[in-house]
């Protein structure tokens, strides 16, 4: 069985559609979303509707929470705060309802796969800790028994491996899942990548082959930028899409 796991769409409908076309071309029907569907981009309702149609499950992200008027928006930088306040105003009722009902984490359990899906670190997920270093990843591994953990949040794809109590950052964006190791996979961001690569990211989990792979997809960046500018959201939210930063 193959699964697509995607995260941090951030109301970028052009990126989401391109990623979904790639997922369809890979003949994958089982799709899961790690949250931050809204916030930053200009199409929160369109993205939420699309995810609700195609994703088997989704978890809550910190921007989803902020756009619901919950969480700690005062901890956001000014640009993120402005985007959250704009999103609060334009969100429709089905979007609000869909986000309100999102769990903090989701156990993906099938015949050949057992994994934990969560937006930020599974270490106190409500506190939205980032997993950026081996130290962060070690705390994440200690906080749960799962052998396979999928996260988003940082918008930087990457794989951490724990074996015999030691955690190392896996350089490649693909790995074969060995039975004696545990894996924490950051699937990157569909709609606002921050690793210097402006292409949208999504993760393919192949339960039979026991592999995870982060794929990248080009999309119409200029169209997404034009919508952000037309909505009078902060200019940096449009320009950064071209850099992937
Ligand atoms: Fe995010």
Q: How confident is the model at residue 34 (pLDDT cuts 50, 70, 90)?
A: very high
Q: How far is the CA of 215 from the centre of ligand 1 (A)?
A: 18
For residues 225-237, average pLDDT: 98
How many angstroms separate the alpha carbon of residue 194 from the centre of ligand 1? 10
* Distance, CA of 78 to CA of 156 (rounded, Å): 21
How much distance in Å is there from the Cα of 179 to the middle of ligand 1? 31
List strands edge to edge, sheet with 166-170.
105-109, 114-118, 148-151, 182-186, 158-163, 166-170
Once rounded to an integer, what is the mean pLDDT over residues 50-70? 97
In CATH, what is the architecture of 2-243?
Answer: 4-Layer Sandwich (3.60)
Measured in Å, residue 111 CA sits from the centre of ligand 1 at 30
pTM of the model: 0.97
136-194: pLDDT as tens digits: 999 999 999 999 999 999 999 999 999 999 999 998 999 999 999 999 999 999 999 99
Contact 74/84 with Cβ under 8 angstroms?
Answer: no
- d(CA 59, ligand 1 centre) in Å: 12
74 pLDDT more than 90? no
Domain ranges of the chain: 2-243
Q: What mean pLDDT is reported for the chain? A: 97
pLDDT at 75 (0 to 100): 87
């Amino acid at each position: 069985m193959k699964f697509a796991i995607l995260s941090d769409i951030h109301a970028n409908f052009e990126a989401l559609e391109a990623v979904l076309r790639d997922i369809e071309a890979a003949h994958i029907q089982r799709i899961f979303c790690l949250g931050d569907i809204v916030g930053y981009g200009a199409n929160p309702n369109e993205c939420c509707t699309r995810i609700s149609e195609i994703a088997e499950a989704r978890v809550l992200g910190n921007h989803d929470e902020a756009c619901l008027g919950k969480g700690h928006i005062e901890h956001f930088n000014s640009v993120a705060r402005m985007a959250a306040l704009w999103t609060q105003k334009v969100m429709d009722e089905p979007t609000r309802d869909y986000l309100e009902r999102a769990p903090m984490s989701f156990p993906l359990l099938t015949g050949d796969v057992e994994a934990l899906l969560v937006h930020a670190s599974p270490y106190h997920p409500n506190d939205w800790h980032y997993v950026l270093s081996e130290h962060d990843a070690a705390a994440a591994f200690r906080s749960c028994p799962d052998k396979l953990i999928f996260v988003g949040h940082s918008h930087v794809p990457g794989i951490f491996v724990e074996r015999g109590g030691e955690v190392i950052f896996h350089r490649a964006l693909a790995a074969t899942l060995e039975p004696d190791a545990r894996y924490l996979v950051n699937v990157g961001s569909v709609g606002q990548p921050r690793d210097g690569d402006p292409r949208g990211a999504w993760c393919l989990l192949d339960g039979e082959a026991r592999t995870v792979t982060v794929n990248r997809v080009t999309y119409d960046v200029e169209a997404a930028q034009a919508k952000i500018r037309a909505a009078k959201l902060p200019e940096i939210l449009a320009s950064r899409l071209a850099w992937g930063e």
